[in-house]
Structure 1
């Protein structure tokens, strides 16, 4: 190894620069994957918060949509979408006490290395809740 460092042909310089470039690309990829995992964690928290709101209120109305919009702006996931699957009672938006419902939040994250690579990754987070409101 010491002999190679003493040589002045330039081979070591090129391989070292290439290894440095690959190392930087690997670090950028790890950071990008970490960001997508962080976004997935945000989606799970958003779905849980919306589900808890619906559990307490017992219906899917504009207040649930307002809560979701507020969560979207605070988490910087502006293109996230909300889907609620429930068995509604006579009121149209009401969920009877004990009936389950599913809240699904979807988002498309991107894994990339600078401007060279950008792969869209669909992210979904679902939470199941039960209504805590009794409707007559």
Structure 2
């Protein structure tokens, strides 16, 4: 089994997100039940401004720290999405997620968004 690590915004998220994810994973189809296990030590990375712009290196540093966790399988970033802009452009969750995933770093991130019964970055809604 591989580890699912979370990057979250605030103190409440550090506790709530892994707990909620573990409960949601119990409702996955049987064939997906034991693909990942939830790491209960989420990274508190702050808001979007703390990992973009002049602080973009923080994103790479957090990914590097996550990579040090044994059996890392995935990193899921959950932020509030209450920013008005992302690096000079109007904020769009899809564009922001794709831009962060495209950045060089110690992992090869992928962006997924729920759409019907499968996940695909191509099916993310437009802004």
Q: Structure 1-normalised TM-score?
A: 0.27
More helix by share: 1
Give the TM-score, by structure 2 length.
0.28
| Larger Rg, first or second structure (1 or 2) | 1
